Structures are given as C-alpha cells and as structure tokens.
Amino acid sequence: MIQRAHDMGVDHMLCVSVNMEDFPQVLALAKEHDFIFASVGVHPNHDEGKEPTTEQLIVHTQDPDVVAIGETGLDYFRCSGDMTWQKERFVRHIHAGIESDKPLIIHSREAAADTMNILIAEQARDCGGVMHCFAEDWTTAKKALDIGFYISFSGIITFKNAQDMRDVAKKVPMDRLLVETDSPYLAPVPKRGKTNEPAYTSYVADVLAEVKDVSKEEISKITTDNFFNLFRSAQRRYAE
C-alpha cells in the first residue's frame, strides 16, 4: 500500500488516531517510516475505552512523530441523546492542542453549528487545525477559514452527486486546501466500492485541479506545502 502511494506521487502521510487503544500502532507506523506522521486523540464516536485527560494528550505530543491532536470533534449522526460527554472531550482536545501548539484534526457530522461555536469559544485559532473530510456548506467553511483553519477534501468531491462540495472547494483559498482519504472509507471515483488507501488521494487532486482550473502538479505542490504549513512540527523527507 505504501509503495502504491509512492508510485502515485504521495510522498508524505499522516496516520490519524481514533482511540487510545490503537494509538501505539499508529505511532509505531510513524516510527517505522520517516515519511509517515501520527496524531493522538479519540474520535467523537468512540464511547468505550480510555478517556484521555488534556495532560495525557499533551504528554504524547512530546514525541516528535506526533504532529497533531485528533481526530476530535462532534458527531450527532451516529450518537444521540445527551452530547455533553462529546463536547467535554472535544474541549479537552482543543486545550491540548493549544497548550502543546499542535493543530487539531476536526470531525464534524450533523453538528456544524456546535462544532464551530466550541472552536471559536475555546480559542482554537491559537493552535489552528483542519476540518477533516469536509462535507458541510460554504457558510461553515467560511467560519473555519476565518479562524485560520484549513479545509480537507476526501473522495466525496469526486462523486457525481457532490457538485455542492465542488462549489465549496472552488471558493476555498488555495493556501488552505488539503486532500485526504478518510481510509478505509469514501474511495474516490474511479475506485468507488474499494477499500480506500493513500494512493487514491491522486484522484481527489485530479478533481481539485479541475475545479480550480490549474494543473495537477500545482495542486500537488500547494497541498503538500499546506500540509507542512499546518502540521508545522512535521519534517519534509523529500525535496520540494
């Protein structure tokens, strides 16, 4: 899988933590490959297992291979009822990001208003971050951009019925764009139905280039530069 990614021009990757139980595997992958980086955090849907404190998250960020806090945020699609526990977890992650100066990887599903209100109220602009697998409207994107966040597009942008996402992408400034997989989900056209993997970000870049009316080479360079501007403690392993 790593070789296929390199063959498609993907030189750096970020493996995102979704719970503390599997975090050691995430970190081990980053240790094994100097072009892979790690984040630390607990996904909003993960309601079992270890619940890290802000201090515990900060300790993990002292490892040089950990370049971000997350995946964190809110999800009202898969969880219902009293969402206080999700909001409290989210705030702890934001505080860890600010105190460790690590950007946040934000998950938001059917919770856009609360997500943005919490990010703004808790001063998340102080550490920055990315709205991962973005699937909201331009109003939400604009609020995120206004506090210095990046917008990351997944395979969704390649789907026939995702013109609204392409319209949003067209408005996002070039210096705030990122591409991702959301592996193993959301494989882009022409790989729909398959297990997603890093190599397939190439197809997302194809569509972004079309939307932005620039070359794929320019999109590739810009999104790579944006990655290192956002994940500022990550070190390039390949020449620009």
DSSP labels for 101-123?
Answer: T--EEEEEES-HHHHHHHHHHTT
Please state the domain count of the chain.
Answer: 1
240 lies in some domain: no
Taking the alpha carbons of 51, 48, 108, 74 in that order, is the dihedral positive or negative?
negative
pLDDT in tens, 197-221: 999 999 999 999 999 999 999 999 9
**Residue 17's domain spans which residues?**
2-230
Q: How confident is the model at residue 240 (pLDDT cuts 50, 70, 90)?
A: low
* 11 assigned to some structural domain: yes
Mean pLDDT of 175-181: 98
Using pLDDT thresholds of 50, 70 and 90, give the confidence band for residue 12: very high
The verdict on residue 187 lying in a domain is yes
CATH of the domain at 189: 3.20.20.140
64-81 per-position pLDDT tens digit: 999 999 999 999 998 777
**Does 119 fall in a domain?**
yes
Does some domain include residue 236? Answer: no
Residue 39 forms part of a structural domain: yes
If DSSP codes are grouped into helix, strand and coil, which group holds residue 71?
strand
Q: What is the DSSP letter of 16?
A: P
In a domain, 105, yes or no: yes
Kindly report, residue by residue over 123-169, the tens digit of the pLDDT.
999 999 999 999 999 999 999 999 999 999 999 999 999 999 999 99
Query: What's the whole-model pTM score?
Result: 0.96
pLDDT tens track for 102-120: 999 999 999 999 999 999 9
Asked whether residue 239 is assigned to any structural domain, the reply reads no
